[in-house]
Structure 1
């Protein structure tokens, strides 16, 4: 896998443009679930979604979990 220049990654960039396909999305979901201790099964993403959308939905799940625990 080649490294991308930092300016190639921004919130508006589609995931497929940074070489994240459906298999990579599933692997990323598993890593995020373990690292953040959240359940992302209800999050539906495709490689057409953007980096910003990915961040937003993961943040929403994390915030929801934090609010529910409070």
Structure 2
């Protein structure tokens, strides 16, 4: 499983989202992911993927695609 698939699986599982709702251009807030939920998800990602996402520029207005790009970029450097 590549990083993007892993993140998508975690996203759908943690927030009980149907997989077909997690599209690259959908803002996280449209998936009912607010800033607190995003911070919790960030901690899960850091633990699962062994990444440091502290400085990742993510907010609930970020899209799924931006989230995936940021995490994949960090994973490539790690």
Q: CA RMSD in A?
A: 1.5
Instruction: In structure 2, list runs of 5 or more residues that go unmatched.
Output: 1-14
Hey, which bits of structure 1, 4+ residues long, moved more than 4 A? Answer: none
Q: Paired residues, what number?
A: 64
Indicate the residue corresponding to 2:64 in structure 1. Answer: 51
Structure 1 residues 36 and 5: CA distance shift in structure 2, 3 A:
closer
Consecutive unaligned residues in structure 1, runs of 5 or more: 66-70
Alignment correspondent of 2:33: 20
Give SS of 1:11's match: coil
Structure 1 pair 26–3 and aligned structure 2 pair: CA distance change class (3 A): closer
With structure 1 as the length reference, what TM-score do the two structures score?
A: 0.83
Answer with 1 or 2: which has the greater Rg: 1
